[in-house]
Structure 1
Amino acid sequence: MASEIEVVRLEGECTFGQAVDDIDACLRRARQDGVRRLLIDIRGLSGFGKPDVAARMGMVRRWAASAGGAMKVAMVSPRSLNDGERFDIVLAKALAFDGDVFETEEDARHWLDQAPALWTGPPPVF
């Protein structure tokens, strides 16, 4: 793929709100810098537990607005924080936020390397 993958690794102890703020800042900076593919690794963060559905809704809405549809975002996160039902990913897609969550950097990079789908609009009406 033509563009490089920008990698950000977040580390340290923080609250869930601080983590959301830090990720939002990464998205805003990447958008301003014209980054098209962003990998954010949060496996080094600690100090908060698995967010509930309401918290996930808020963070995804905020991150979708910050990304502005301008980039593809892969997040590497420990299994203990991930939503097994992938509610956040479904919501992201509905908000035109091209993002996904992975447990390994290898899987995240593989996804980022995939070409976009040929058809990105709604299904055709026959």
Structure 2
Amino acid sequence: MLLTHSKIIKVQLKQILKTVKGSVVRGLHTTSIYTSSVQDDYRYIHRSKIPTMHFQKSLLRLPIPDLDKTCTRYLRSQKALLSDEEYSATKRAVDQFKEGSGMDLHAQLKQKDKITGSGSIRWERMLE
């Protein structure tokens, strides 16, 4: 009898674990992190009825940073990671980029920003 009762409880626990996959216990309160039904493979921190891009148009436009400042920031970040020899080679490559194709690409980026705005298109479409 005890063995049968134990199997029933085990089956019920498995069903509960399939329905609710996570929770956080804070003191006496339990907060659900995410829930998932048996058919739902996604794990959410929370679900929302508001679409992801709903507030996109209300966000402030970010300006396109100056090419020189961007290159300087990049070199500063690389300084901590590279040896002196590697940094010198990187600096030469950045200088070539800045004087060559970088100027043209930066102009194209500014032109595209005038048409689309920095936050008005989804990132997947930026690759087109």
TM-score (norm 2): 0.19
TM-score (norm 1): 0.19
Which protein is richer in helix relative to its size? 2
Larger radius of gyration: 2
Which protein is richer in strand relative to its size? 1
